[in-house]
Amino acid sequence: MTQQITVEAFSRSWPVAGKFTISRGSRTEAVVVEVHVSHGGFTGRGECVPYARYNETVDEVIADILTAGKELEAPDREALQKLLPAGAARNGLDCALWDLEAKMRGTSAASLLAISGLGPVPTAYTLSLDTPEAMKDKAALNADRPVLKVKLGGEGDLERLRAVHEGAPRARLIIDANEAWSVQEYRDMVPRLSDLGVALIEQPFPAGDDSVLADLARPITVCADESCHDRTDLPRLKGLYDAINIKLDKAGGLTEGAALLHEAKAMGFQVMTGCMLSTSLSMAPAMLLAQQADFVDLDGPLLLADDHRPGIEYEGSLAYPPVAALWG
């Protein structure tokens, strides 16, 4: 068998601007895997984020990418779907293949996906988990942003939300408990949320215990994150959630992410496009799906102290589509 493509994968570390904290812990750097796929004099790039929550490590993801690369005879995204399961490794390779195909054809990834009228979209801006006082101060600094995403963690969450609302009273809020709530906390919190500007609740319960949502009122949109990876999850989520969060690292790339978006919309779900803590190279392919999303959370580069140049351009909370020099 003649190897027709060359695949490189390596880790990169990008410093966080300060500290990023969720219910599972804190980070001061974003560790990503960058993927380069070369063929016919062209090179496509992708980026993925190995995530311990899904039993992924940097070394294992790199090994999976390189192994799959040896089995690809050509830059074939459909063949890739059968070589790797949904997850970070397939995402990095898949997005690099989209970038490569766009370069080889002299067009854009948006055109390949039949997306016209690509334009800027407003993104949420994330406030990481902290004391109510610190979160109020951070909210006040970002009070002009239309949507704030608030990381929560269980005990003390109502005080945190009240503080954020005081700091940014005009902002719509997305709240993300990262699987940290109990049923009683949900029942106690939900009646108070509308007055605090909350528009969406993301993954309140652990993914394996979310069937309780079938018996709980959902006056505010509830969105599946850890519970939704690819299209195979959708039938189970119907009746439990109102929306799904599409992250390319969960779906395994733009190929599955685009299919997931269309199928979810057809089933009546609202769609959120989200991201891991990562650079503009991760945001770029997700920006294509954001054109059709109800909620957008692609603020990863805004949380970092450094980024690719050129990267995604942000004008306040408005995120612009990637330039060809970055991706696609």
Residues involved in catalysis: 151, 247
| Half-sphere exposure of residue 10: CA atoms within 13 angstroms, side-chain side | 4
Residue type, 38: S
Distance of alpha carbon 216 from alpha carbon 66, whole angstroms: 45
Residue type, 255: T
Please list, residue by residue across 43-73, b when 16 or more beta carbons sit within 10 angstroms of its beta carbon and e when fewer do. ebbbbbbbbeeeebebeebbebbeebbeebe
Per-residue CA distances from 270 to 115, 179, 197, 261, 312 (Å): 19, 20, 19, 9, 25
Residue type, 67: T
Please report the beta strands in the chain, taking only residues with DSSP state E, as ranges in sequence order: 6-22, 25-39, 42-48, 121-122, 125-127, 147-151, 172-176, 198-202, 221-224, 243-246, 270-273, 295-296, 314-315, 318-319
